[in-house]
Amino acid sequence: MSALDGLDEHQLEAARVLRGPVAVLAGAGTGKTRVITHRIAHGIDTGAYSPGRVMAVTFTAKAAGEMRGRLRAMGVGGVAARTFHAAALAQLNFFWPTVAGDSAPTVIDNKVRLLAHAADGIGLDPDVATLRDIASGIEWRKVTMRSVDEYAAARPDGVGRFGVSRVADLHRAYERLKDERRQLDFEDVLLACAGMLEAEPRVMKAVHEQYRHFTVDEFQDVSPLQHRLLELWLGDRRDLCVVGDASQTIYSWAGADARYLLEFPVRHDDATVVRLETNYRSAAPILDVANELMRGRPGALRLQAAQSDAQSPAPTVADFDDDRDEARAVAARIVAQISSGIDPREIAVLYRAHAQSAEIVAALADAGIAATVLGGRRFFDLPEVRQAVMSLRGASVAPLQGGFLDTVRDVLRSLGLTEEPPQAGGALRDAWEARRAILRLAEESPEHTSLRAFTDELAARAQAHDEPALRTVTLATLHAAKGLEWHHVHLIGMAEGLLPIGYATTFEAVDEERRLAYVGITRAGRTLSVTWARGHRGRQPSRFLQEIGTRTLGAARPTPRSARLNAPAASASGGARTQSAPPRR
């Protein structure tokens, strides 16, 4: 079986180019991870690559784990698929004893706590929220490769009640305290690795001998610091494949710079550029809306549905008097979807900010619908999951009275798992869903699995952050939803002040909000509903609604109670166009 099997024409084009600079402009749902893994496997199959000489870099441990899993499934092992930070930390730990004569500094796990100690040392008393904002400023300063003075010049307004000079003082105090304790923070790992490579030619030579072929996923999210480290890893070699989508750049506030992706063909004038625009996730009406929202934006791809389905429903928009009414209406629609046979795992509610989740959590609980909030505690850190794993491990060392699956059921029943879930939502339902997920993993285990092997697998999953999908509705911010997908998406809070968020006042900031809305829309596979509420302050519908258009939404009229999104009914700049214009394909 060839590593190129199952790829479409443009995916094949990307996978076949194994040498030199390559830029894969991959729109949402176009199979970029598939292209990356098949391209690497093809390079190894043909002898162009040696597995140990390949480094595949991505931005999350979960994405790196998925990449390794896909490669293993194709019979490919030995490829270094890691995050930037994991790769840099591994190099620091390996070379530091040789370079410095002792072990590498430890990495702090809580920047805010150390900042609080540093603030005490210089007589400041910031609250936790202020400390978090200052920590974000430190991260931005480092990933954009600025000094403290350069940071102060770039952000002269200070933070909260502290002027920029006092904030700069705290930056310096934090760095001093960290150095005194021989500690590094997350960003220092990249800085220290880059500094080591620049200062130590023998380290640079060793790294260049180890890695010859590089692939970088989500290249639109690369920061100046990450890009510098990549240049050092690459040296004068030219085998670099970057994959990304400028329309999904949603971390500019954290230092991400899409120009590295957009200008890649300029930096590498002999680069092969491949565009992936066939979307395998979303129905055509959803893609119409997404395309219209990004029309005319730099680097925007025009997505086309892989299969045309005349029965695909158009996305809908509805408005409500207040947030509670909006949440109850969305919950009612979700109840109807589940009653019609839709798996709760295929349903998501997305929003701009965490604060918006409170009403929808309450509405779903009132309706007896279990929900999982992304960004909360990890599955294997949940107390009921930890208790279950410990109990199962304890049972694995005792003589089994029945079969493997019967023993798992008995243990989980003793901890509170019932045949039917609690009728109400809330903590009891959440605990039931977690225990049921463990039982489902057991039911899906290979035949003749032992209880000890199963508990070992659970431990490995916890280590790799490979968490089972709970049979619940997912609630997530738009940032947390990136990289995920559901058949049915409810995008709430599409109002001015929420999306775009109120503090987005510049053109660049509003454009970032537009990209967030695009990410939310393109998470949906089969249906998309968009809602907003006026609230007690009389919010207005989001300008993005006017740009993508609705059948009866004009430039100045409020949305009716329910309308169909009918792209394109407005220009990219927001001006009203003929409302009866047909959707563009």
Residues flagged as binding site: 26-33
| pLDDT at position 330 | 96
> Rounded to whole angstroms, how far apart are CA atoms 244 and 261?
7
Whole-angstrom Cα Rg for the chain: 25
pLDDT band of residue 398 (cuts 50, 70, 90) is: confident
Q: Where are the domains of the chain?
A: 9-88+190-276, 106-181, 284-376+472-564, 379-464
**Helix, strand, coil % (nearest 5) of the chain?**
50, 15, 35
Q: What is the pLDDT of residue 5?
A: 85
Architecture of domain 106-181: Orthogonal Bundle (1.10)
End-to-end C-alpha distance for the chain, whole angstroms = 36
Closest CA to 32 of 213, 221, 211, 219: 219
CATH topology for 9-88+190-276 is Rossmann fold (3.40.50)
Q: Give the model confidence (pLDDT) of 191-242 as tens digits.
A: 999 999 999 999 999 999 999 999 999 999 999 999 999 999 999 889 999 9
* Angle, helices 383-396/427-443, rounded to nearest 10 degrees: 40
User: ∠ at Cα 250 (249, 256), nearest 5°?
Assistant: 70
CB 65 within 8 A of CB 33: no
**Rounded CA separation 518/176 (Å):** 42
Task: Read off the amino acid at residue 456.
Answer: D
- pLDDT at residue 540 is higher than 70: yes
- What one-character DSSP code corresponds to residue 468? P
Per-residue model confidence (pLDDT) at position 425: 55
CATH of 284-376+472-564, one of 3.40.50.300, 2.120.10.30, 2.40.170.20, 3.40.50.150: 3.40.50.300
With beta carbons less than 8 A apart as the criterion, state whether 374 and 474 touch: yes
Q: Which residues of 423-460 are buried (b: 16+ CB within 10 A; e: fewer)?
A: eebeeebbbbbbbbbbbeebeebeeeeebeebbebbee
* Neighbour-count burial for 48-63, b at 16+ CB within 10 Å, e otherwise: ebebebbbbbbbeeeb
The residue-averaged pLDDT of 436-453 equals 83
Residue that wins the pLDDT comparison between 511 and 378: 511
Q: Say whether pLDDT at 377 is over 70.
A: no
Q: Residue 500, preceding bond cis, omega within 30 degrees? A: yes
In this structure, of 31-40, 76-85, 434-443, the range with the lowest mean pLDDT score is: 434-443
Q: What is the mean pLDDT of residues 372-400?
A: 81
Q: Specify the higher pLDDT residue, 566 or 490.
A: 490
Q: What angle separates helix 128-143 from helix 111-121, to the nearest 10 degrees?
A: 110
Residue that has been written with the tokens 């960290």 in this structure:
178
Q: Identify the sign of the CA torsion 196, 200, 202, 205.
A: positive
Q: Is the pTM of this model over 0.85?
A: no
Tokens 């949440």 map to which residue?
Answer: 327
568: preceding bond cis by omega (within 30 degrees): yes
Determine the Cα–Cα distance for residues 510 and 512; give it in Å rounded to an integer.
5
Task: Let me know: does 56 contact 81? Beta carbons within 8 Å.
Answer: yes
Burial of 507 (0-12, 13-18, 19+ CB in 10 A): exposed
What would the two tokens of residue 354 be?
Answer: 């965490």
What is the tens place of the pLDDT at every residue in 269-294? 899 999 999 999 999 999 999 999 99
The two beta strands, 213-216 and 240-244, are: parallel
Confidence bin at 358 (pLDDT 50/70/90): confident
Cα–Cα distance for residue pair 364/351, rounded to 1 Å: 15
Q: Report the mean per-residue pLDDT for the chain.
A: 86
What is the structure's pLDDT at 584?
30
* Residues pairing with 162 in the sheet: 159
- Which residue carries 């009612």 as its tokens? 332
Position 556 confidence tier, pLDDT thresholds 50, 70, 90: very low
Which residues are annotated binding-site positions for ATP?
26-33
Please report, as a single letter, which amino acid is at residue 152: A
Write down the pLDDT at residue 424.
Answer: 56
Asked whether this chain's domains 9-88+190-276 and 284-376+472-564 adopt the same fold, the reply is yes
pLDDT level of residue 419 (50, 70, 90 thresholds): confident
pLDDT on residue 380: 80
Alpha-carbon 484 to chain mean position = 7
Measured in residues, the chain has a length of 585
- Residues 500-519 have pLDDT tens digits of 988 888 999 999 999 999 99
Per-residue H/E/C for 162-196: ECHHHHHHHHHHHHHHHHHCCEECHHHHHHHHHHH
Q: What percent of the chain has pLDDT over 70?
A: 91
CA-CA distance, 237 to 204, in Å (whole number)? 13
Average pLDDT over residues 110-132: 91
Confidence of residue 426 (pLDDT cuts 50, 70, 90): low
Cα distance between residue 101 and residue 387, in whole Å:
43
CB 294 within 8 A of CB 247: yes
Q: Tell me the mean pLDDT in the region 147-156.
A: 93
Specify the amino acid at residue 181.
R
Mean pLDDT of 373-383: 76
Token pair 């550029």 in the structure block, residue = 273
Confidence of residue 564 (pLDDT cuts 50, 70, 90): very low
